[in-house]
């Protein structure tokens, strides 16, 4: 088993502190002890703070500075906190500054080869196929949107529009897979993998399975196929912000818990 502390330190250094734009037109910058990303003005999402190195003396000042930056742009933004971030009361300070906590998730990381091996025996049930979704495949994106609304109870069309734009802008940096019912094209499971160039990490996102199709190996198959893509590209580790539903599955496939993560969202009042 990989040393947890060393793995977390490498993830923090290579991924959280990266200044590589997540996609063309997005602007990452390090401003003192904070790394923030600003997306283009026409994007609803994409403004966020990914990393900070704060203490009790400067935390409130730095939080206020980021609020001022995004308020001047009229943009909502997310401050993503991790369980090991400082100061320990950072979440409370964010809430006092007007941020709203979102659902917490578990940060899990594991070796690509271990996950690939664990998924090797996964098989799709009869009548289900997996295919790659391209940027202009509107029926597939609509199907993924319906799936996400069914699973998570929220409209994700605007968010998925930006994921599709990410695919169009740089298809080498992200691959989207969807499991569909033959004949109808109904999307019953979907997820994507982002390849963090210049690092040892690929990350899995969007994993959702329709309730009627759970427990049939579809989710595991999509994890395995995305792990295989990461292996082919030379990445060593997979990282996932896991929901309570996916965490135990991912742990069985070889990913280990290294921390927790909770997004805090600030929204302009006008």
Mean pLDDT across the chain: 95
49 and 140 together in one domain: no
Q: Is the pLDDT of residue 2 over 70?
A: no
Please tell me the total count of domains within the chain: 2
Q: Are 70 and 45 part of one and the same domain? A: yes
> Going by C-beta distance under 8 Å and a sequence separation of 6 or more, which residues neighbour residue 13?
none
Please state, as a whole number, how many other Cβ atoms lie within 10 Å of the Cβ of residue 2: 17
DSSP 191-221: EEEEE-TTSSEEEEEEEEE-GGGTTSSHHHH
| 100-147 confidence digits (pLDDT tens) | 999 999 999 999 999 999 999 999 999 999 999 999 999 999 999 999
Q: What mean pLDDT do residues 193-217 have?
A: 95
Tokens standing for residue 213: 């199709």
Same domain, 130 and 85: no
Determine the pLDDT at residue 113: 97
- In terms of domains, do 125 and 248 share one? yes
Mean pLDDT, residues 237-266 taken together: 96
CB proximity list for 107: less than 8 A, separation 6 or greater: 11, 82, 83, 239, 240, 241, 242, 257, 258, 259, 260, 261
- Mark residue 29 as left, alpha or beta (left: phi above 0; alpha: psi -120 to 50; beta: remaining): beta
- CATH code of 144's domain: 3.40.630.30
Domain housing 132: 110-260
Does residue 118 sit in the same domain as residue 135?
Answer: yes
Q: Are 194 and 256 contained in the same domain? A: yes
The pTM (predicted TM-score) of the whole model is 0.93
In this model, does residue 10 exceed pLDDT 70? Answer: yes
Residues 195 and 230 in one domain: yes
Q: Is the peptide bond before 5 cis (omega within 30 degrees of 0)?
A: no
pLDDT of residue 55: 98
Is the same domain home to 91 and 145? no
pLDDT over 90 at 155, yes or no? no
pLDDT above 70 as % of the chain? 99
Identify the CA nearest to 133 among candidates 159, 157, 168, 162: 168
Residue 235: C-alpha distances to residues 11, 16, 194, 265 (Å) = 13, 17, 11, 31
């Amino acid at each position: 088993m990989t040393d947890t502390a060393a793995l977390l330190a490498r993830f923090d250094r290579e991924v959280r502190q990266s200044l590589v734009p997540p996609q063309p037109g997005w602007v990452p910058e390090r401003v003192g002890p904070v790394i923030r990303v600003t997306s283009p003005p026409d994007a609803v999402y994409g403004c966020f703070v990914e990393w900070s190195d704060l203490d009790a003396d400067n935390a409130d000042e730095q939080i206020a500075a980021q609020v001022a930056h995004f308020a001047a742009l009229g943009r909502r933004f997310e401050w993503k906190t991790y369980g090991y971030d400082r100061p320990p009361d950072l979440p409370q300070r964010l809430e006092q500054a007007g941020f709203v906590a979102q659902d917490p998730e578990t940060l899990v990381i594991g070796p690509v080869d271990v996950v690939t091996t664990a998924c090797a025996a996964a098989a799709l049930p009869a009548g289900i196929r997996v295919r790659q979704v391209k940027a202009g495949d509107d029926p597939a994106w609509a199907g993924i949107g319906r799936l996400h609304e069914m699973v998570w109870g929220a409209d994700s069309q605007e968010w998925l529009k930006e994921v599709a734009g990410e695919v169009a802008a740089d298809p080498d940096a992200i691959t989207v897979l969807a499991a569909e019912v033959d004949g109808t094209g109904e999307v019953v499971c979907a997820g994507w993998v982002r390849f963090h160039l210049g690092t040892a990490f690929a990350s899995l996102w969007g994993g959702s399975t329709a309730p009627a199709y759970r427990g049939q190996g579809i989710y595991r198959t999509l994890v395995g196929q995305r792990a295989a893509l990461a292996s082919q590209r030379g990445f060593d580790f997979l990282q996932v912000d896991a929901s309570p539903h996916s965490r135990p599955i991912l742990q069985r496939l070889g990913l280990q818990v290294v921390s927790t993560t909770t997004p805090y969202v600030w929204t302009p009042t006008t």
